[in-house]
Structure 1
Amino acid sequence: MIKEFFLVFLLSASPVVELRGAIPLGVLVLHINPALVFLLSILGNFLIVPFILIFLKYFSDFLMHKYYFFNKFLNYIFSKTRDHYAHKFERWEHWALLILVAIPLPFTGAWTGALAAFLFDISFKKSLLIIFLGIVIAGFIVSALTMVGNGAFNGFWAIK
Structure 2
Amino acid sequence: MLGSVPHWLSVMVIGALPISELRGAIPVAMGIYGMGPFEAYFLSVLGNIIPVVPLLLFLEPVSGYLRRYHIFDVFFTWLFSRTRRNHTENFEKYGLLALTLFVAVPLPVTGAWTGCAAAFVFGIKFKQALLAIAAGVMIAGVIVTILTMTGMGLADLISGV
TM-score bucket (shorter structure) = 0.7 to 0.9
Q: Which amino acid aligns with 1:103?
A: V
Are 2:43 and 1:59 equivalent residues in the alignment? no
Rounded to whole Å, the distance in 1 between the matches of 2:83 and 2:114 is 14
Are 2:16 and 1:13 equivalent residues in the alignment? yes
Structure 1 length-normalised TM = 0.80
The structure that is helix-richer by fraction is 1
Partner residue in 1 for 2:156: none
Cα deviation, residue 76, structure 1:
7.7
Partner residue in 2 for 1:141: 143
Over 3 Å counting, the alpha-carbon distance change for 1:79 and 1:34 in structure 2 is closer
Are 2:131 and 1:129 equivalent residues in the alignment? yes
Residues 66-75 or 130-139, more deviating: 66-75
Contact (CA 8 Å) 2:90, 2:98: kept in 1 or not?
Answer: no
% of aligned pairs identical? 43
Give CA-to-partner distance per residue, 1:86-124, whole Å, 9 cap, x none: 344212121211111001111110001111111111111
Are 2:119 and 1:117 equivalent residues in the alignment? yes
Query: What is the aligned length?
Result: 149
Q: What residue ranges of structure 1 are gaps of 5+ in the alignment?
A: 151-160
Over 3 Å counting, the alpha-carbon distance change for 1:107 and 1:70 in structure 2 is closer
Q: State which of 84, 87, 90 in structure 1 corresponds to 2:92.
A: 90
Q: What residue ranges of structure 2 are gaps of 5+ in the alignment?
A: 153-161
Contact (CA 8 Å) 2:12, 2:47: kept in 1 or not?
Answer: yes
